[in-house]
Chains A and B, each alone.
Chain A
Amino acid sequence: MNDYEALLHQAERLEALQKIRNLMGRYSYLHSAFRNKEYAELWAKREDDKLVMPFGKFVGWEAVRHCYVDLHGDRNNPDDIDELRGLMMIHLMNTEIIEVAADGKTAKGVWLSPGTETAPQPGKEKGAWCWGKYEVEFIKEDGTWKFWHMILYPLFLSPYDRSWGQPAPEKMLGQIQLEDPMCQPLDAPMWEYGPDAEYPYDEPAMPDPYEHYQGV
């Protein structure tokens, strides 16, 4: 690689940062708008896709699609419309750290996500605060950056009028392991706040600069 080619490669890695920021933004807007079919297309079509949510784990693109389109719903499915009315799920993305591999084939990123969930569900009727953290890996598929692995770590989910420092008497929808054939159990229970809880030091795992992703 001569100097110009090296510079071009560096520029392409910088371009990748914006494409990845845009991917996270698109995820937020599409998911809030229940355009989950479109969102599923932003994932790499690979069997080693992995999505880890507070309610379970989904492995492979079909399982990821199932989580978002079948379990969350899509506004273009007439059968889903009634259940989507009255849902306002807003998840912002900020405080990023993004590292693109030196080989330009993969990337890792973390974000904090303040948010709100308002829904005709217990605890969310008048509005609930919903904050979490994202640990995401991206891969270039046919020249386009795609989601590859995603972990959503919950921080707190609490009705607007309840302190998030006090554990709620009952879990809300989204906090309980889901019984579904394509939803696998979590490897370990996710962290929850409690007066004796130690805040984890590696959730999310902050990416460091790296050369390449093993196996890619």
Chain B
Amino acid sequence: MTEEKIREQLEYTLFKLEAQEACRNLMGRYSYYRTAFQSKEIVDLWAKRDDDKLVTPWGSYQGHQGIEACYLQDIGDRSDAKVFEAIKGAVIMHEVDTEVIEVAEDLRTAKAAFLSQGHDTYVDRTDNETVHAKWAWEKYSVDFIREDGEWKIWHMTIYPLFQSEYGEGWADNQTYVSEAFAFQNAGPEKTDWHYDRNELYPANEPAIPEAYVTYDKSSAE
């Protein structure tokens, strides 16, 4: 192999490796910001595109405007005094691991899957200030895209696994999102799977990314 060829291959490989690190860090930041209700910072992790998409157990959001509506209006940012008051007693923590990350050969996009063990602790102020301490596990399917030289979140689907009060089994609990929270801007599409003794665990949630050349509509399905 000529030196020039080796150099090209080297640059390509290093770029891909850096991309994987960037995606990993994006998910880390997402997790930390989410727990801290730094929702403005979460919005900045997303690409500013009309085809952004977030699908959650409580509903879906389209485009960057939808992303803003989710994080800045439905969830809220700690810099807002009303939100800051409301999130007292809340520790919403969703760790991220068990990754599969594939960067496209054209280096423009990446696809990933993650698992997330977590816990939601919060005060239900609609129910006599009851404090809930719940286990909450979920799964992520995430697409990333390079925008102005930086990696951003592009599409994200959050699949619920289970949640339960700390002293209860999760097998019989079909609710993942408490009715104490209202999400005014969420669209109807949602991921509302729950464990069922009579059903087979889903085959492809999340989709396990395979190596790919370029992102197209068919690879999104």
Contacts and interface: CB of A to CB of B under 8 A. Distances in A.
A60 B115 CA distance: 30
Given A5-B6, A92-B117, A86 B197 contact: yes
Most B Cβ at <10 Å: residue of A15, A26, A127, A161:
A127
A109 to B, nearest CB: 14
Interface in A9-51: 11-12, 14-15, 18, 21-22, 24-26, 28-30, 32-35
Given A7-B10, A126-B169, A35 B203 contact: yes
Interface string B177-205: 00000000000000000011111111110
B60 interface: no
A94 interface: yes
B144 to A, nearest CB: 14
Contacts of A126: 169-172
A33 B17 contact: no
Q: How large is the interface on A (under 10, 10 to 19, 20 to 34, 35 or more residues)?
A: 35 or more
Nearest to B204: A33
B19 to A, nearest CB: 10
B176 interface: no
B177 to A, nearest CB: 19
Interface residues of B, number: 43
A118 interface: yes
B11 to A, nearest CB: 9
B14 interface: yes
B104 interface: no
B199 A127 contact: no
A11 B171 contact: no
A26 B115 CA distance: 11
Contacts, number: 117
A123 B98 CA distance: 26
Contacts of B199: 85-86
Interface in B95-115: 95, 97-102, 113, 115
A86 B99 CA distance: 25
Interface in A155-202: 159-161
A205 interface: no
Given A15-B16, A18-B20, A161 B169 contact: yes
B87 interface: no
Nearest to A128: B169
A160 B170 contact: yes
B17 A11 contact: yes
B23 to A, nearest CB: 10
11 contacts: A8-B13, A12-B13, A15-B17, A21-B99, A28-B98, A84-B200, A86-B198, A92-B98, A125-B169, A127-B164, A160-B170
Interface of B: 1, 3, 6-7, 9-10, 13-14, 16-17, 20, 95, 97-102, 113, 115, 117, 137, 161-162, 164, 167-172, 195-204, 206, 208
Which 5 A-B pairs give the minimum distances between C-beta atoms?
Answer: A126-B169, A25-B100, A94-B97, A86-B197, A11-B13
